[in-house]
Amino acid sequence: MRWILLLVLSVSLPAMAELEYSLKPRQIAEDTWLLEGSTDNFNKANGGNIVNTAFIVTEQGVVVIDTGPSKRYGEAMRKTIAAITDKPVIQVFLTHHHPDHVLGNQAFADVPIGALAATTELLHQQGDAMAENMYRMVGDWMRGTEVVLPNQVVTPGVHSFGNHDLRVLGLGGHTAADLAILDQRTGVLFAGDLVFYHGFWSLTNCYLLFIAHKSDTYLI
């Protein structure tokens, strides 16, 4: 019986291992961590991880910027955050409604998920179709993923979390509603997909985060 179990494990483990995002957090400024995605288009090798997400560990708790392309990614992101800090996640901001930025929302269902009002409306209108498209493109990585709409309307202005004053900017250009966040403590600008560098881009496939840090400028 045992060898049968081992045989089953040996067959199934590699398949499971292939579906791990293996997120590697990179500290880019004080309290600020980047999870950098692939610059390829969506495919079954990257599981839709063509997005840059980020989190800020404030005194008050963790602020997350975008939740990634799938439930599995969102869960991996929470584990990654928990490995960095024991502070709770207290806020999620979504930069825009594209699937690689919002389909990890399920993993943050216990946290306020904030977006511009128009972003929520766009996700309401297009979310299911975008999720179906993601299932077609990346397959099993998406298993169990459902669209979760934001539950908080974010207005432009300064929102403070611990010692980080985050200036929320209501913009447009990549989509009809793009939210950018300037952390006034570190000078990091989280621009969602408003800025691209060395990557694939189309209206539905996008990946980048722009970072300006004090006198230096980083495009990552």
Residue ranges that bind Zn ion, judged by CB under 5 A: 98, 193, 206
Residue 98 or 164 having the CB closest to Zn ion: 98
Residue 84 or 195 having the CB closest to Zn ion: 195
Distance (Å, whole) CA 122 – CA 138: 22
Nearest approach, Cβ of 193 to Zn ion (angstroms)?
4
DSSP 87: S
Nearest approach, Cβ of 105 to Zn ion (angstroms)?
15
Residue 62 or 134 having the CB closest to Zn ion: 134
Nearest approach, Cβ of 23 to Zn ion (angstroms)?
19
Nearest approach, Cβ of 209 to Zn ion (angstroms)?
11
Give first-to-last CA distance, the chain, whole Å.
51
Q: Are 50 and 109 in contact (CB under 8 A)?
A: no
Residue 183 or 193 having the CB closest to Zn ion: 193
Residue 92 or 206 having the CB closest to Zn ion: 206
Retrieve residue 71's tokens.
Answer: 């439930």
Residue 46 or 186 having the CB closest to Zn ion: 46
Q: Are strands 62-65 and 89-93 parallel, antiparallel or unpaired?
A: parallel
In the chain, beta strands by DSSP E: 26-29, 32-35, 53-57, 62-65, 89-93, 113-115, 152-153, 157-161, 164-171, 178-183, 189-190, 210-213, 216-219
Q: Are 92 and 113 in contact (CB under 8 A)?
A: yes
Q: Are 220 and 28 in contact (CB under 8 A)?
A: yes
Residue nearest to Zn ion (CB): 206
Nearest approach, Cβ of 97 to Zn ion (angstroms)?
8
Nearest approach, Cβ of 174 to Zn ion (angstroms)?
6
